[in-house]
Amino acid sequence: MLARGGNACDAAVAVAAALAVVEPYSSGLGGGGFFLLHRAADRRQVMIDARELAPRAIRREHFFDASDNPREGATVRGGTAAAIPGVPAALDHLTHTCATMPLAQTLAPAIRLARDGFRVDRRYARIAQLRESLLRSSPATRLFLDRGRAPEAGFVLRQPELAATLERIARDGAAAAFYRGPVARGMVDAVRAAGGVWQLSDLEHYRVIEREPLNFVFRGATITAAALPSAGGIALAQIFGMLGHFPPGDVLDPQTAHLVAETLRRAFRDRSLLGDPDHASIPLARMLDPDRLKKDAAGIDVQRASVLPFAAEGDTGGSGNTTHFSIIDAAGNRVAATLTINLLFGSGIVGHGSGVLLNNEMDDFTLRAGLANSFRLRGGEANMMAPGKRPLSSMTPAFVEDDKGVLVLGAPGGSRIISQVLLVALEYLRHPEVDLRRLLAMPRYHHQHWPDHIEIEPEGFSAGWKTAMEGMGHRLHVVNRRWGNMQAVFQPAGSGPAQAASDPRGGEVAWY
């Protein structure tokens, strides 16, 4: 789209639609997300909130039995797990507000990929194998398999019904072709057949929301990140506000890693105060108050880990069940977009006749105080499930701008998204030269308050590093695989060439 004269919004529509076809395990028309936009002409920045909505007929009893015990799988499988999708509305919104090309042009590559097929890669084959039992459970989801089994890399996957849905959207727009008509009826019928309570009015009333992004300054750099219902931007603002009271350091040095972990711990502690700002009163001014953050920083012992009242084993999960892309065009317009259907292959429901795989975002709500979701995140009253509400998210598309230029970044990874963006941003700001490949390849660690341990990737941390961290009182949990699939673009100040890089944990798809 850029080569054809389009801008960053045109490219964003095309990329989001193409990913909906080739990464059905991560994102799609049946999911939602956040688009962080910067318009070069007037430097206007906006976040397009395309987060999913809880259906209006959903009730607490759909998730608890008569004894008030959680119904197993109710938030992750079947009709009660699916929330109303936002991606198609976002593509429509981008097309009418900032793109230059019609949907017929920007959706054309996705339509071809769905109709003619594409060769699945090793990543798809691995994930399909992980979720083979879910995909085999319904004739509608068997389309993602090869004769009922997880395909090998190279298998050509065709999705003719999804191609037809994309063609309808390209011709008539999302409001008429997705949120009304036969596609809408097919989704409602599939959800209700699986025990859900969707109504056509849920789809008809869905709207994206333009929100003011979160902006703050750290060591001379301006950082712009997703606002609520993303918890990510607020966490970054809090963490940078605390780290500003300590000297800068290499995030892989044990002393700095200790400080990063302690600030992550405190930011995730406050996550329980967050939720949909249209449904709950959020104490943002207090949470981001510089004096409060200074006090929090002063409470960090530079030699010892904090003591928390509760600890548990296990990791937070979530590495491939979301997608992200970053785009800058020649004029300086930019888009950072993080999109998801939540867990791998979502709820396992495909809308009748549409090829649209639906999300399981109801799992991102808080159902009861102290009850953790699939990412082991515990929420509070502000994120309690309610009809017509948007669940809290960890998706954190971001811009980092300083004298060197501007960095556009984001990642999948569930609750680990926030720490991924944080670590890369800190190292970007520390170095006068920018090497995106090095930044994205760095080993990763994560802390989210509960469970009370630092998760680390299986590679990249020496025995000496582990000994130093444990000597400061940190409990380490080695996760059995590397996580995330960050995508970043850097545009230097002035007239220098841009850099684009893809996470080595994923696939090499950067283009410039």
H/E element holding 461? none
Q: Please tell me whether residues 429 and 330 are part of one structural domain.
A: no
Residues forming a β-bridge with 334: 38, 328
Q: Please tell me whether residues 63 and 84 are part of one structural domain.
A: yes
* pLDDT profile of the chain (512 residues), mean per 10: 97 98 97 98 97 97 92 94 98 98 98 98 94 95 97 98 98 98 98 98 98 98 98 98 98 98 96 95 97 97 82 42 93 97 96 98 90 81 96 97 98 95 98 96 96 95 98 97 95 90 79 52
Question: Which residue, 498, 483, 488, 469, is CA-closest to 428?
Answer: 488
Which range of residues forms the domain containing residue 138? Answer: 8-209+320-383
Q: Please tell me whether residues 344 and 473 are part of one structural domain.
A: no
Question: Which residue, 327, 337, 318, is CA-closest to 397?
Answer: 337
Q: Please tell me whether residues 167 and 306 are part of one structural domain.
A: no
Q: CA dist 123 to 24, 61, 237, 252, 321, Å?
A: 12, 37, 33, 28, 12
Q: Please tell me whether residues 89 and 227 are part of one structural domain.
A: no
Residues forming a β-bridge with 491: 406
Q: Return the DSSP state at 250.
A: -
Reported as half-sphere exposure (CB side, CA atoms, 13 A), residue 58 has a value of 28
At residue 45's C-alpha, the angle toward residues 44 and 49, to 5°, is: 140
Strand order in the sheet with 322-328: 209-211, 44-50, 32-39, 334-340, 322-328
Q: Please tell me whether residues 453 and 324 are part of one structural domain.
A: no
In terms of phi and psi (left: phi > 0; alpha: psi -120 to 50; beta: otherwise), the region of 321 is alpha
Q: Residue 388 domain-assigned?
A: no
Q: Determine the 3-state secondary structure of 471 from DSSP.
A: helix
Q: Determine the 3-state secondary structure of 497 from DSSP.
A: coil
Q: CATH code at 466? A: 1.10.246.130
Q: Please tell me whether residues 50 and 190 are part of one structural domain.
A: yes
- State residue 9's pLDDT score: 98
- State residue 311's pLDDT score: 36
- Residues annotated as part of the active site: 322
Structure tokens at 296: 């929090």
Q: Residue 280 domain-assigned?
A: yes
State the greatest distance between any 2 C-alpha atoms of the chain, in Å, as a whole number: 65
H/E element holding 326? strand 322-328
Q: Determine the 3-state secondary structure of 399 from DSSP.
A: strand
Q: Residue 3 domain-assigned?
A: no
Q: Residue 277 domain-assigned?
A: yes
- State residue 510's pLDDT score: 57
For the full predicted model, state whether its pTM sits above 0.85: yes
Q: Residue 339 domain-assigned?
A: yes
Question: Which residue, 415, 327, 392, is CA-closest to 35?
Answer: 327
**Strand runs (DSSP E) across 182-229, as ranges?**
209-211, 214-218, 221-225
Q: Residue 2 domain-assigned?
A: no
Q: How far apart are the first and last CA of the chain?
A: 12
User: Into how many domains does the chain fold?
Assistant: 2
- State residue 511's pLDDT score: 57
Q: Which residues contact 309 (CB under 8 A, 6 or more apart)?
A: none
Strand order in the sheet with 454-456: 445-446, 454-456, 476-478
Q: CA dist 497 to 10, 52, 70, 332, 396, Å?
A: 21, 37, 54, 12, 26
Q: Return the DSSP state at 506.
A: S
Rounded Cα distance, 66 and 425, in Å: 48
- State residue 246's pLDDT score: 98
Q: Return the DSSP state at 257.
A: H
Q: Return the DSSP state at 457.
A: -
Q: Please tell me whether residues 79 and 113 are part of one structural domain.
A: yes
Amino acid at 247: P
Question: Which residue, 155, 218, 257, is CA-closest to 464?
Answer: 257
Q: Please tell me whether residues 50 and 146 are part of one structural domain.
A: yes
Tracing tokens 């970053």 back to the chain, one arrives at 326
Q: CA dist 290 to 215, 248, 398, 487, Å?
A: 14, 18, 21, 31
> 462: exposed, middle or buried (C-beta count within 10 Å: 0-12, 13-18, 19+)?
exposed
Q: Please tell me whether residues 44 and 176 are part of one structural domain.
A: yes
Domain boundary among 383, 410, 434: 383
Rounded Cα distance, 105 and 234, in Å: 36
Q: Residue 118 domain-assigned?
A: yes
Q: Please tell me whether residues 479 and 356 are part of one structural domain.
A: no
- State residue 318's pLDDT score: 42
Q: Please tell me whether residues 428 and 294 are part of one structural domain.
A: yes
Q: Residue 389 domain-assigned?
A: no
Per-residue burial over 266-282, b = 16 or more CB atoms within 10 Å of its CB, e = otherwise: bbbbbbbbbbbbebbeb
